[in-house]
């Protein structure tokens, strides 16, 4: 069993990833922590609570950072996820589920300390909550089983960023946090655009989910209409599978090819938010990567296998 903390900014693809985690018989979801990103922190926390209420997810939901470590949160990308973060579907005005009283980073620390060596963190938003947890309690580094991040773009096969030519959204939203999180010596894998843009879910796939995966499948269909339209306007005829790719790595790392090496994040200048790995087998004169821990990045993916895993997991859980 994977004991998972899901750090998230729901978000259409975040919601799809949360349902994937909830549907997996190998996952025990022990905490959900929210961050600003695809919406304000009020919006993303409301959405996480709504998802938990609607789909009977019992894990505590703790509200996290409203802004990056330095500077202010940019305007949410409502053109990607809709103004309400869930593709502008109708949402109830009242939600009975309430947030955990602890801030997100403290819930992370307490859960990690309560289950030493067991907790796996899947982080699919800005890295701010993780950085705050590290700053408050650096000792958690030795207690976490692994961290799987959806974030970054490493130029594998020429893949660029999606906010600027250099930067992917989750990292661009708080590059300092990402540099601190990738500078920590915990087992960490970054699943970036290099692989998440290779895996797409076309309309017939989403329609099949709607027909075969009960209320969850119909919900995914509904929230993905706006998201699909955003992709279509950009000339992409199917949706990218960002956050669920991090979940798939947790469940079946064999679906991915990876490369090891130290990671740095550019925190100022025109390449703000760029992620750069120094592959482990390369030699240079002294660099800013020296002395940093080596981590994995995703370089290849079995897209068909990933889609199959997603579909069968949801069908089995929700049909
Ligand atoms: C990432 O940014 C967000 O819009 C998505 O939820 C995903 O986590 C992709 O760049
Ligand atoms: Ca996300």
The domains of the chain are located at: 2-318
Report whether pLDDT(314) > 90.
yes
pLDDT tier at 222, thresholds 50, 70, 90: very high
Helices in 147-257 by DSSP H: which ranges? 169-172, 175-182, 193-196, 203-212, 214-233, 243-251
Query: Architecture of 2-318 per CATH?
Result: Alpha-Beta Complex (3.90)
Q: What angle do CA 31, 216, 152 make, to 5 degrees?
A: 55
pLDDT tier at 131, thresholds 50, 70, 90: very high
The string of DSSP letters for 146-162 reads: EEEEE-----GGG---S
Does ligand 1 come within 6 angstroms of the Cβ of 171?
no
Q: What percent of the chain has pLDDT over 70?
A: 100
Q: What percent of the chain has pLDDT over 90?
A: 98
Q: What is the CA(18)–ligand 1 centre distance, in A?
A: 13
Positive or negative, the CA dihedral 47, 50, 56, 58 is positive
Does ligand 1 come within 6 angstroms of the Cβ of 80?
yes
Q: What is the CA(195)–ligand 2 centre distance, in A?
A: 15
Contact 188, 294 (CB under 8 A): no
Q: What is the CA(242)–ligand 2 centre distance, in A?
A: 8
Instruction: Give bridge partners of residue 122 from the DSSP assignment.
Output: 6, 148
Query: What average pLDDT does range 209-220 have in this prediction?
Result: 97
Lay out the sheet containing 294-301: strands in order across. 61-62, 27-34, 2-8, 119-123, 146-150, 188-191, 294-301, 256-265, 275-279
DSSP state of 295: E
Whole-number Å distance between alpha carbons of 184 and 163? 25
Report whether pLDDT(319) > 90.
no
What pLDDT digit, counting tens, does each position of 149-158 carry?
Answer: 999 999 998 9
Using a 10 angstrom Cβ sphere, with 0-12 exposed, 13-18 middle and 19 or more buried, the burial of residue 145 is middle
pLDDT value of position 37: 98
Query: Of 147, 232, 156, which Cα lies nearest the Cα of 194?
Result: 156
DSSP state of 315: H
Contact 256, 191 (CB under 8 A): yes
Does ligand 1 come within 6 angstroms of the Cβ of 123?
no
Q: What is the CA(13)–ligand 1 centre distance, in A?
A: 7
Contact 163, 275 (CB under 8 A): no
Query: What average pLDDT does range 118-128 have in this prediction?
Result: 98
| 9 classed as catalytic | yes
Atom of ligand 1 nearest to the CA of 9: 6
- Report the SS3 class of residue 3: strand
pLDDT value of position 30: 98
Given the residues 22, 81, 105, 242, the one annotated as active site: 242
Contacts of 139 (CB under 8 A, 6+ apart): none
Residue 1, H or E segment: none
Q: Which ligand sits nearest to residue 6's alpha carbon? A: 2
What pLDDT digit, counting tens, does each position of 245-275 carry?
Answer: 999 999 999 999 999 999 999 999 999 999 9
pLDDT tier at 73, thresholds 50, 70, 90: very high
Does ligand 1 come within 6 angstroms of the Cβ of 243?
yes
| 242 classed as catalytic | yes
Asked which of 30-39, 176-185, 227-236 is least confident by mean pLDDT, the reply is 227-236
Q: Which ligand sits nearest to residue 13's alpha carbon? A: 1
Pairing relationship of beta strands 27-34 and 61-62 according to DSSP bridges: parallel
Please choose from 38, 79, 160, 194 the residue to mutate so as to test ligand 1's pocket, defined by most ligand atoms within 8 A of CB. Answer: 38
pTM of the model: 0.98
């Amino acid at each position: 069993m994977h004991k998972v903390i899901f750090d998230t900014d729901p978000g259409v693809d975040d919601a799809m990833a949360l349902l994937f985690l909830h549907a997996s018989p190998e996952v025990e979801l022990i905490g959900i922590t929210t961050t600003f990103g695809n919406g304000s922190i009020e919006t993303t926390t409301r959405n996480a609570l709504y998802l938990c209420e609607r789909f009977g997810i019992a894990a505590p939901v703790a509200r996290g950072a409203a802004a990056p470590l330095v500077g202010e949160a940019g305007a949410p990308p409502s053109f990607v996820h809709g103004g309400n973060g869930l593709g502008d579907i109708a949402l109830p005005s009242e939600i009975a589920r309430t947030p955990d009283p602890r801030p997100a980073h403290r819930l992370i620390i307490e859960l990690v300390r309560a289950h030493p060596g067991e907790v796996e963190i899947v982080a699919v938003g800005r890295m701010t909550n993780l950085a705050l947890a590290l700053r408050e309690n650096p000792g958690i580094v030795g207690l976490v089983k692994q961290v799987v991040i959806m974030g970054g773009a490493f130029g594998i096969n020429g893949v660029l960023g999606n906010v600027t030519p250099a930067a992917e959204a989750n990292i661009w939203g708080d590059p300092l946090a990402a540099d601190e999180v990738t500078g920590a010596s915990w087992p960490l894998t970054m699943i970036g655009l290099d692989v998440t843009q290779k895996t797409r879910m076309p309309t017939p796939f989403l329609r099949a989910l709607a027909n075969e995966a009960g209320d969850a499948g119909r919900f995914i269909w509904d929230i993905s209409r706006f998201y699909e339209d955003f992709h279509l306007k950009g000339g992409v005829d199917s949706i990218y599978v960002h956050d669920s790719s991090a979940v798939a790595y947790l469940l079946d790392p064999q679906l991915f090819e990876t490369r090891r090496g130290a990671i740095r994040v550019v925190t100022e200048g025109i390449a703000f938010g760029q992620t750069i790995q120094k592959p482990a087998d390369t030699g240079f004169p002294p660099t800013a990567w020296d002395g940093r821990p080596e981590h994995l990045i995703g370089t290849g993916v079995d897209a068909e296998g990933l889609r199959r895993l997603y579909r069968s997991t949801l069908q089995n859980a929700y049909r």
